[in-house]
Amino acid sequence: MTTSATRAERHPSPRKRADTGAARPHDPDEIGLDALVGHAGYAVRRFQIWIFQDFIKTLGAVDIRPTQYSVLTVIGANPGLSQMAVAKRLGIERARLVHLLDSLEQRKLVRRIKSKTDRRSHALHLTAPGETALAKFKTLAAEHERHVEAKIGKENRERLLEILAGFT
Amino acid sequence: MTTSATRAERHPSPRKRADTGAARPHDPDEIGLDALVGHAGYAVRRFQIWIFQDFIKTLGAVDIRPTQYSVLTVIGANPGLSQMAVAKRLGIERARLVHLLDSLEQRKLVRRIKSKTDRRSHALHLTAPGETALAKFKTLAAEHERHVEAKIGKENRERLLEILAGFT
DNA sequence: GAAAGATTGTTGTTGACGACAACAATTGCG
DNA sequence: CGCAATTGTTGTCGTCAACAACAATCTTTC
C-alpha cells in the first residue's frame, strides 16, 4: 500500500491543492476529530475534566476536592478503617493517602488513632466537627450532582451509573 | 439537630459499642462507599483511570499516550492547523501543547512549518513517517477499543458514546 | 500611519495525582 | 527463633491542568 494514500482516503480535503505552510484560518467548529469520535476514552476524559471542574467549583467555598471528599465519605461510613483499607477501596496509592490524611488531620476533620491490636496501623475516624462538615459537603456534592443531571439529562446520568457500576 | 446523629442514622453499625481505636479487620468487599455510589464523577474517574491504563499498555510498544494520540489524529485529519486551533479543539493548554509537539517533532512524526500568512503561528503537519505511524497507532487504538467493549459490553460502550457525545 | 490592544508561541511555576522504590517498625508464619 | 510480609512513611519521577509573564506579530482604533 502507498503511505500517502491514507489521509487522502479518510479526508476528501475541501481543497485539493497542497497548501503546506498555508495556515489557512479554520472555523473551530469544523475541525474534525477523525478516529477520536469512536474512542470512549476521549469522551470519558473530556467528561471527567468537566465534572471535576464543576465539583471543585461547587465545593470551592469549603475547599474540598473530589479525592478528599471520597476519603472523608469512606471513613465516615466505615469508622476505624486502616489507611491500607481505605487506599485499596478507593484505588489510591497508600503513599498518596498519607498526604491526603495529613491535610485532613490538620484541618481537624479526621483523626489517626493508634490501633491497639496492630501497632503498625492507624484506625481512621472523623472528628465531631468532621462529621458535621461532611454533612455539609454531601449537601454541596448533591448540588454538583444536579449540575451533572442538567448537563447530560436525568436518565442519561442514571444509565451512566449503571454502565460504570462495575468500576466502583 | 444533634451533630453525632448523622452517621448513626446512615450506618446502623454492625457493632453498637464505641470501638474507637479498635482497628477491627475489614473484609475489603464489605467497605461501603456510602454517598459515593450516587456520584457519577466517582465512577467516571475510576473508569477513566482504567481506560487510560489499558490504552497506555496497548500502545506501549509504540510508546504513544492518549494525549499524543489525540494530537496526532487531529493534525492528521486537519493538516495546517495552528497550535492554538489544536489546543482549543482538544481542550489542551497551549503551554502544554508546546511540550507535546516538541516531543512529537523530535520523533519526526510532526513538523512545525512557519506560516506565511501569520508569522506568529505554525502550520502543523504530519511527516511521511508520521502518517504511516499514525495508521499503525489507529490499529492499536482500535484494539484497545475492543478491550473496552469486552469490559463494559458492546451496547453499553455505544450508549456511553451517545451520552457523552456533547463533550467531544 | 502610528499607538494601543489582542493573539501566538514560548518559558516557567504551582499543585494534584498516579506509579515506584526504599525504609523502619511491627506482625505473622514456618 | 528467624525470615517473609504488611503498614505507614518519605522520597523521586512523570503526567497533567491552571496560571502568569514575555517577545514577536497581527489587528483595531484614532
Task: Report all structural domains of chain B as residue ranges with CATH numbers, in order of start.
Answer: 39-167 (1.10.10.10)
Query: Is the pLDDT score of B147 beyond 80?
Result: yes
Provide the whole-model pTM.
0.85
Give me the CA B118–C1' D30 separation in Å, rounded.
25
B101 touches strand C (CB under 7 A): yes
CA distance A99 to A80: 19
Give me the CA A120–C1' D9 separation in Å, rounded.
11
CA distance A158 to B48: 18
Residue A29: predicted pLDDT: 59
Over residues A47-74, the mean pLDDT reads 95
- Dihedral through CA A97, CA A98, CA A102, CA A108, nearest 10? 50
Residue B28: predicted pLDDT: 56
Q: Are A66 and A56 in contact (CB under 8 A)?
A: yes
Contact B76 A34 (CB under 8 A): yes
Contact B121 A23 (CB under 8 A): yes
Give the gap in angstroms from C-alpha A28 to the nearest C-alpha of chain B. 7
Q: Which 3 state secondary structure label does DSSP give B110?
A: strand
Share of chain B above pLDDT 70, in %: 83
Give the gap in angstroms from C-alpha B103 to the nearest C-alpha of chain A. 20
Model confidence band, residue A27 (pLDDT cutoffs 50, 70, 90) = low
Chain B residues touching residue A165 (CB < 8 angstroms) = 43
Strand D bases with any atom < 7 A from protein Cβ: 6-12, 15-21, 24-27
Give me the CA B109–C1' C11 separation in Å, rounded.
23
Query: CB under 8 Å to B156, separation ≥6 — which residues?
Result: A163
Smallest CA–CA distance from A80 into chain B, residue: B23
pLDDT, one tens digit per residue, over B39-89 is 999 999 999 999 999 999 999 999 999 999 999 999 999 999 999 999 999
The single-letter code of the amino acid at B168 is T
Smallest CA–CA distance from B19 into chain A, residue: A80
Residue nearest to nucleotide C26 (CA to C1'): A120
Exposed, middle or buried by CB within 10 Å (0-12, 13-18, 19+), for B61?
Answer: exposed
Give the gap in angstroms from C-alpha A23 to the nearest C-alpha of chain B. 5
CA distance A3 to A126: 62
Q: Which residue has the cell 457523552?
A: B164
Over residues B13-28, the mean pLDDT reads 46
- Dihedral through CA A146, CA A152, CA A158, CA A159, nearest 10? -170
Which nucleotide across the nucleic acid strands is nearest to A102, CA versus C1'? D9
Residue A158: predicted pLDDT: 95
φ, ψ of residue A112 to 5 degrees: the values are -95, 115
Q: At what angle do helices B40-58 and A154-163 cross, to 10 degrees?
A: 50
Query: Is the pLDDT score of A129 beyond 50?
Result: yes
CA distance B20 to B24: 10
pLDDT, one tens digit per residue, over A56-66 is 999 999 999 99
